[in-house]
Copies of this chain bind each other. A is one copy, B any other.
Amino acid sequence: MLTLYYARGTCALASHMALEYSGAGYRTVRLDFSKNEQRSPGYLRLNPKGRVPALVTERGVLTETPALLQFIAQSFPQAQLAPLDDVFALARANEFNSYLCSTVHIAHAHRMRGYRWADDAAAHEAMKKKVPQNIGECFELIERELLKGPWVLGERFSTCDMYLFTSAQWLEGDGVDVGRFPKVADLRQRMLADPVVVKVLAAQQA
């Protein structure tokens, strides 16, 4: 049995969706970031990074969204969550997920978590100010170059769509109008109507 540690509103949503789409047996444990539960001694023993997601497997604890997404796809290949049979296409999927992780998520994190990169309150404000521009530029690239349509990889639904959906949920909070990105907005709407997504979002809010 797999156990996913997550918190509401975080990138762990992507792995939660992948688990649900995979057909895997899994359970979830919610951490409350407002109580700083991700820094509790018990959780730090499990995941010394003090972040989410963390996936407890029978062979150990895995972290980092791109790694979890491929792990879930490879562990449950019948669900066809990634192009596992095509080295180039899989690289394309990993390229997309890595971009979300190391550029889009980082740009987003500078709005609320500037303390990670500077100790100065004025610097945090300066970072926050630039977030709409940076997130806007990221999603312009996604809309123009990376999202083939109707899904990220084209005709084939994949973990990339789950991760993009997750990142796109932050747009309004980051001060960016999703209406600027019709393909992203359309993907988000289609996914919001998917019973799997509805189920996962409801579970996280329950």
Contacts and interface: CB of A to CB of B under 8 A. Distances in A.
A136 interface: no
Contacts of A59: 88
A101 interface: yes
Nearest to A110: B117
A45 to B, nearest CB: 11
Contacts of A71: 87-88, 90-91, 94
Interface string A47-73: 011000000010110111111101100
Contacts of A62: 88, 91-92, 95
Contacts of A60: 88, 92
Interface of A: 48-49, 57, 59-60, 62-68, 70-71, 74-75, 87-88, 90-92, 94-95, 98-99, 101-102, 105-107, 110, 116-120, 122-123, 126-127, 129-130, 134, 141, 144-145
